[in-house]
């Protein structure tokens, strides 16, 4: 018979939920985790999209993982293998075939940029140092609980001192650089550095990644810095995981179980049960009830506080804050099952095991965003793709391959029409035509394809509006305003209900900082 009372009940089986479970059970706490699907990992999971063909459902690669996760859970580097290719990104150029190659050897990147702009190549190293200086402020910020702005006490004042210390380490100029850079839109930043349309477009794409905003939107530089926090001299870096991103979630699952966590799959939580503003437990879809001293949700705020909590447990002020969170997912994923390895114009076969992007200019990105603003999907989207079977051959039958593409801007909701199979087919065909400009005979080598739009991710992964970050990574949803001012310290308006997902500080990604920060806060 399963025990029904625990120290911690965790709702959701994504990366942050698994890290929270592993860390808390390591402290000899009784922990049970409920996942509504038949597998763990959430956005880090893999799936079979066609007979014998598998893909990373959302993320093909990881930018970085919080070093505290690795250290505190004693994750062996031999079990979590990163594959770092010489060229970590190639920006495709259809005009003259002069692609941009971003290399781990920064001098090779400079050489590639020089082929399209000598003046830009001369600034590349200095630009990397500048971004590294700016992100040196964010790094310690990402490892703290945001201050309580409503009622700043001594501990909050001390944490704020830790926040500004990195800024002052660069002197007055460093302080000014940070304050002026964070609210910038991408063109404002790049106007000070580069002229090449292709380089500017490629960098700007990082500033709007997973955002329903164009590069001319205010504070897109904040998202750019978030995407490149630990890039150092490798801006736009990408690290593939041997076995796919699901291998990371599997390692965390094993650590959680090893530490004593009880994991229940196919167990959908339909309510978080409260009494006098105190969480008592959860009720499952099958009617079972479980009781906990504390409840932790890895879901976004809409799912946690609107769907799972009764309206009786929410005052109007809290409801207004929750209603004002901007989700606005606009990234689709398309996976192609291929008969053979694709042949990309101007790319050698041994250079195919990297990330490719189609982002020819800033104006291209802005026009792409314009279509979403008017309720349509983009006909000229920002596309990022890779061939995961070159990293993990087991993703396809012998000799065959998978091409996985992230396609932005594909809105959650269309104007005056509903998403259907025909419209989704139009998106696939449009992307196919764009890729065909770079890949020889692309249509001829396609066996089948599968598309997941933001609405699909909402339905399958319980992500509101298909927002991978559980809420836009914008300046008004950052630090002590993420996800709301009243819940920025990983606590909700319910006394013992906590949150640990990407909706919390410091935002989206598979880095795990959200969970470590929450655990540090919860065990104070």
Tell me the C-alpha distance between 481 and 488, whole Å: 6
The label of the residue with tokens 């394809």 reads 449
131's tokens: 């971004």
> How confident is the model over 34-48, as pLDDT tens digits?
999 999 999 999 999
- Residues 491-512 have pLDDT tens digits of 999 999 999 999 999 999 999 9
Please state the domain extents for the chain: 5-44+245-325+475-522
Confidence category of residue 94, pLDDT binned at 50, 70, 90: confident
Q: How confident is the model at residue 278 (pLDDT cuts 50, 70, 90)?
A: very high
Q: What is the mean pLDDT of residues 186-199?
A: 97
pLDDT on residue 85: 87
363: how many CB neighbours lie within 10 A of its CB?
16
Q: How far apart are CA 157 and CA 166, in angstroms?
A: 16
- Angle (CA) 63-67-71 rounded to 5° is 140
Q: Does pLDDT of 185 surpass 70? A: yes
Q: Which of 317, 329, 306 is nearest to 377 (CA)?
A: 329
Lowest mean pLDDT, pick from 160-174, 224-238, 490-504: 160-174
What pLDDT, on the 0 to 100 scale, is given for residue 460? 95
The whole-number average pLDDT for the span 357-375 is 95
Q: Is the pLDDT of residue 315 over 90?
A: no
Find the length of the chain.
Answer: 524
By the 10 Å C-beta count (0-12 exposed, 13-18 middle, 19+ buried), 277 is classed as: middle
Task: Select the highest-mean-pLDDT range: 235-244, 366-375, 423-432.
Answer: 423-432
Q: How confident is the model at residue 65 (pLDDT cuts 50, 70, 90)?
A: very high
pTM for the predicted model, two decimal places: 0.95
Whole-number average pLDDT of the chain: 93
> How sure is the predictor about 167, in pLDDT bands with cuts at 50, 70 and 90?
low
Which is higher by pLDDT, 168 or 183?
A: 183
334-362 tens-digit pLDDT = 999 999 999 999 999 999 999 999 999 99
| pLDDT for 147 | 84
Task: Answer whether 405's CB lies under 8 Å from 333's CB.
Answer: yes
Q: Note the pLDDT of residue 96.
A: 75
Class of domain 5-44+245-325+475-522: alpha beta
Asked if pLDDT for residue 1 goes beyond 60, the answer is no
Identify the pLDDT of residue 303: 96
| First CA to last CA distance, the chain | 33
pLDDT above 80: residue 150: no
CA 222 to CA 225: how far, in whole Å? 5
Element holding 274 (H helix, E strand)? strand 269-275
On the question of pLDDT at 154 being above 70, the answer is: no
Q: Tell me, what's the pLDDT at 292?
A: 96
Residue 394: alpha-carbon gap to chain centroid: 25
By three-state DSSP, how is residue 233 classified? coil
Percent of the chain with pLDDT over 90: 85
pLDDT of residue 179: 82
Output phi, psi for 454, to 5 deg.
-50, -40
Phi-psi region of 507 (alpha: psi -120 to 50; beta: other; left: phi over 0): left
Neighbours of 66 (CB within 10 A): 22
From the list 518, 123, 494, the residue with the least C-alpha distance to 308 is: 494
* pLDDT attached to residue 169: 61
Interatomic CA distance for residues 363 and 370, integer angstroms = 10
């Amino acid at each position: 018979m399963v025990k029904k009372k625990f120290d911690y009940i965790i709702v959701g089986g994504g990366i942050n939920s698994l890290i929270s479970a592993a860390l808390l059970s390591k402290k000899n706490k009784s922990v049970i985790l409920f996942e509504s699907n038949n597998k763990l990992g959430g956005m880090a999971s893999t799936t079979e999209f066609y007979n014998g063909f598998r893909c990373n459902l959302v993320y093909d690669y990881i930018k970085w993982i919080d070093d505290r996760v690795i250290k505190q859970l004693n994750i062996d580097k031999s079990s979590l293998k990163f594959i770092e290719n010489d060229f970590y990104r190639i920006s495709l150029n259809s005009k003259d075939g002069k692609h941009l190659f971003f290399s781990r050897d920064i001098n090779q990147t400079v050489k590639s940029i020089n082929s399209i702009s000598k003046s830009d190549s001369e600034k590349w190293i200095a630009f990397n140092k500048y971004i590294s200086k700016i992100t040196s402020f964010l790094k310690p910020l990402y490892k703290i609980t945001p201050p309580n702005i409503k009622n700043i006490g001594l501990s909050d004042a001390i944490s704020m001192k830790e926040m500004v210390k990195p800024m002052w380490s660069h002197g007055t100029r460093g302080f000014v650089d940070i304050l002026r850079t964070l609210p910038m839109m991408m063109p404002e930043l790049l106007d000070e550095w580069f002229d090449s349309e292709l380089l500017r477009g490629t960098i700007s794409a990082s500033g709007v990644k997973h955002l329903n905003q164009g590069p001319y939107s205010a504070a897109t530089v904040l998202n750019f810095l978030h995407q490149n926090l630990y890039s150092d001299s490798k801006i736009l870096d990408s690290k593939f995981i041997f076995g796919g991103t699901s291998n990371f979630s599997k390692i965390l699952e094993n650590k959680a179980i090893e530490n004593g966590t009880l994991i229940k799959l196919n167990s959908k939580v339909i309510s978080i049960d409260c009494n006098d503003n105190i969480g008592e437990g959860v009720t499952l879809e099958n009617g079972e009830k479980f009781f906990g001293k504390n409840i932790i949700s890895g879901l976004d705020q809409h799912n946690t506080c609107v769907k799972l909590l009764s309206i009786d447990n929410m005052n109007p002020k809290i409801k207004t804050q929750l209603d004002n969170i901007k989700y606005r997912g606009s990234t689709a994923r398309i996976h192609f099952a291929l008969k053979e390895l694709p042949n990309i114009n101007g790319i050698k076969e041994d250079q195919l095991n990297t990330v490719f992007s189609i982002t020819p200019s800033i104006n291209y990105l802005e026009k792409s965003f314009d279509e979403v603003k008017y309720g349509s999907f983009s006909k000229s989207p920002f596309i990022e793709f890779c061939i995961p079977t070159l990293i993990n051959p087991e993703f396809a039958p012998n000799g065959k391959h998978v091409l996985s593409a992230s396609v932005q801007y594909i809105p959650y909701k269309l104007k005056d029409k509903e998403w259907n199979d025909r419209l989704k087919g139009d998106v696939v065909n449009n992307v196919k035509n764009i890729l065909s400009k770079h890949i020889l005979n692309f249509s001829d080598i396609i066996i089948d394809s599968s598309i997941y739009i933001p609405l699909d991710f909402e339905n399958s992964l319980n992500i509101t509006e298909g927002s991978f970050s559980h809420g836009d990574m914008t300046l008004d949803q950052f630090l002590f305003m993420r996800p709301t001012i009243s819940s920025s310290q990983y606590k909700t308006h319910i006394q013992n209900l906590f949150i640990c997902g990407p909706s919390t500080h410091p935002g989206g990604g598979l880095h795990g900082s959200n969970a470590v920060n929450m655990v540090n806060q919860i065990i104070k």
